[in-house]
Structure 1
Amino acid sequence: MGIGCGKHYIIMTNRPKDPGLKVTYYIRKYLEERGAACIICADNETEEQIRLKEGGDTYRSDCMIVLGGDGTMLKAARETAASGIPLLGVNLGTVGYLAEVEPLALDLALEKLLREEYTIEERMMLSGRVLREDGSGETAQVHALNDVTITRRGPLQIIQFRIWVNGQVLNSYGADGIVIATPTGSTGYNMSAGGPIVEPGASLILLTPICPHTLNTRSIILRAEDEVVVEIGERQSGQEQEVEVNFDGSRCLILKSGDRLKVTRSDKTTSIMKLSELSFLERLHRKMSE
């Protein structure tokens, strides 16, 4: 019996980053030759479609191998949040903080995977709901591994925010937007907006304004258990403001003046498979030196 006998893998591929699925087919061939079973998901299939493809809900993958960049990893995280399937990222993108395996080290990574020479990190996620000012109720819950961001929509005007934490008013200010991030998301939009970089295994919530129109507004670090509510104000002219809320840069909701976004720690987590013994600080140093 081979070392991969009885193991099942899903290969999720960002097709534009793997033209002709060259790397995808290579991974499948490598794993199947060693006794493992693989299915390929390269056409934006959801996890439910993957299960149906396998003939029902009983199919259980040992790992989802994600080919692309961090954006593809975030998509995979959303689709596996309910199942807890661990993710292994192969970086076919640029920076790749989440996708740790580089193409030149692919064979070694697959060998470690088959031999179960890895650790699994549980990363916290955020959960967001929109509370409508018109009384129409809350939207469905949406989960995010990296961040929930509010950005302007339409004319280039300042967004007026009012922020509560655990029911108490924290601050009010005008800005181009706000990032509510997890430690995993600290190296994403949060970092670009000037927020701190945090070890991804930590448990906390980051609030970082995007281009704040004041001199005394900085990032704020909160407990993971805190509840954050952001209310959208009116434009300075008194007209209704319209903004976008994005979950991991993908799922988009529209908010208007008076609407509130409630963000808390999600009851879901993302399982990230780690093959390398490099620490977060070592990986961070390498990425920043590239």
Structure 2
Amino acid sequence: MKHFFVIMNPDKKGARETAGDICSYLEKQGAVCRIGERDRGRTGKHYTDASTVPDETECIITLGGDGTLIQAARDLAGKNIPMLGINRGTLGYLTQVSRNEEIKDALSSLLANDYRLEERMMLSGCAYRDGKVIAQDIALNEIVMTRSGLVKMLQLKVFVNQEFLNEYRADGLIAATPTGSTAYNLSAGGPIIVPDSKMVVLTPICSHALNARSIVLSADDWIQIELMGEKGVCQAAVFDGDTAMELYPGDCIEIRQADIKTILVKLKNISFLDNLRNKMAGI
């Protein structure tokens, strides 16, 4: 690799200085590095304009936490540029490098092409009202059906491949990828899944039933969620905690494996279980 693009979270302490150090080191080695400028969106998060990323870019380096990498994956979806995360957050399940002394070694590995690439599946969500598409988006971690405003409980009817699965009365419902299994899904009591596998896990949030459990589905399954309840009451489908679709009883959202994938750079010969154990020990 010789062409790099750095995306940082400027709210993280030392991020700007580290970004400058990374570019300086790479350029001294004969590489090309550019630091992306980010704009704040309506949610207050920083976004990267995909058009500002040079076509010759071979690697995206993110500086922040998992959220920074996930946001970059969404902003640059479809460009198929491998991403390496440098952690400046807390747990950092997706980031490969944490300590400052590891950064130069990681950059040297990239320059020497000493790495492997790992594909992570994404989810596509398409919402319908009266048979017409009203919104669609993608997610790397999860799509969450959640309450909006003063709604006390959601009523959701779920179908898989057009076959009725279950009716949920809960505070919400998570459709998570393996990558997202260690995020909101884990907090809600869902299972941890090896991140490079291909499957979707449905996990109810605070279900009003004694027998409600997570269900693991094939990545090829087609999930349909029909919103029920009192007419006119606003609910929401939230994508990676970033964008939200306003939905109402009678609407339907279809969730499938997205055609787009996120490509992560893997540097260390550390198993997922080792990484999981190390991260959990720090909680």
- Same fold by TM-score, threshold 0.5 exceeded? yes
TM-aligned CA distance change 1:264 to 1:8, over 3 Å: same
Deviation at 1:103, TM superposition (A): 2.8
Q: 2:36 aligns with which of 36, 41, 63?
A: 41
- Residue of structure 1 in register with 2:63 after alignment: 67
CA drift of 1:156 comes to: 4.7
Show the counterpart of 1:215.
Answer: 210
* Matching residue's letter, 1:194: G
Compared CA separation, residues 88 and 80, structure 1 to 2 (3 A): same
Q: Sequence identity, in percent?
A: 42
Aligned equivalent of 1:276: 268
Match of 1:189 among 184, 193, 214: 184
Residues 200-230 of structure 1 show CA distances to partners (whole Å, capped at 9, x for unaligned) of 0111010000110110110000010000011
Structure 1, unmatched stretches of 5+, are none
Whether 2:196 is the aligned partner of 1:201: answer: yes
Secondary structure in structure 2 of the residue aligned to 1:258 = coil
Alignment of 1:142-161 (within 5 A): 142-161=137-156
Report if the CA contact (8 A) 1:232-1:241 is conserved: no
> What is the CA deviation profile of residues 153-201 of structure 1, one whole-angstrom value per residue up to 9, with x for unaligned ones?
0115011110010001100021000100000110010001100000001
Over 3 Å counting, the alpha-carbon distance change for 1:20 and 1:170 in structure 2 is: closer
Q: In structure 2, which of residues 123, 128, 150 is the aligned counterpart of residue 131 of structure 1? A: 128
Hey, what's the Cα distance between the residues in 1 that align with 2:242 and 2:258? 17
Instruction: Report the Cα distance in structure 2 between the residues aligned to 1:33 and 1:65, rounded to whole angstroms.
Output: 17
In structure 2, the partner of 1:119 is 116
After TM superposition, the score normalised by the length of structure 2 is 0.93
Q: Which runs of 4+ in 1 moved over 4 A?
A: none
Write the deviation string for residues 239-277 of structure 1: whole angstroms up to 9, x where unpaired.
Answer: 533211111111111000111110000011100001010
Give the secondary-structure state (helix, strand or coil) at the position aligned to 1:29: helix
**1:265–1:247 CA distance, 2 compared to 1 (3 A):** same
Shift of 1:234: 0.9
Between the two proteins, the alignment pairs up a number of residues equal to 274
CA distance in structure 2 between the partners assigned to 1:173 and 1:222 by the alignment: 17
1:10 positional shift: 0.4
* TM-score, with length taken from structure 1: 0.91
**Superimposed CA distance per residue, residues 26-79 of structure 1 (whole angstroms, 9 cap, x where no aligned partner):** 10101011111111114235343314xx5xxxx221100001111111111112
Contact 2:9–2:64 (8 Å) recurs in 1 = yes
Please give the alpha-carbon distance, in whole angstroms, between the structure 1 residues aligned to 2:69 and 2:50.
Answer: 17
C-alpha deviation, 1:114, in angstroms: 1.0
Structure 2 matches for 1:1-290, cutoff 5 A? 7-19=2-14, 21-44=16-39, 46-51=48-53, 54=54, 59-104=55-100, 105-133=102-130, 135=131, 137-235=132-230, 239-290=231-282
Q: How far, CA to CA, are the matches of 2:194 and 2:204 in structure 1?
A: 20
Partner Cα separation in structure 1 for residue 15 and residue 154 of structure 2 = 44
Q: CA RMSD in A?
A: 1.4
The unaligned stretches of length 5 or more in structure 2 are 40-46
Deviations 1:81-128 (A, max 9, x none): 211000000000001001121133111111111111111001111101
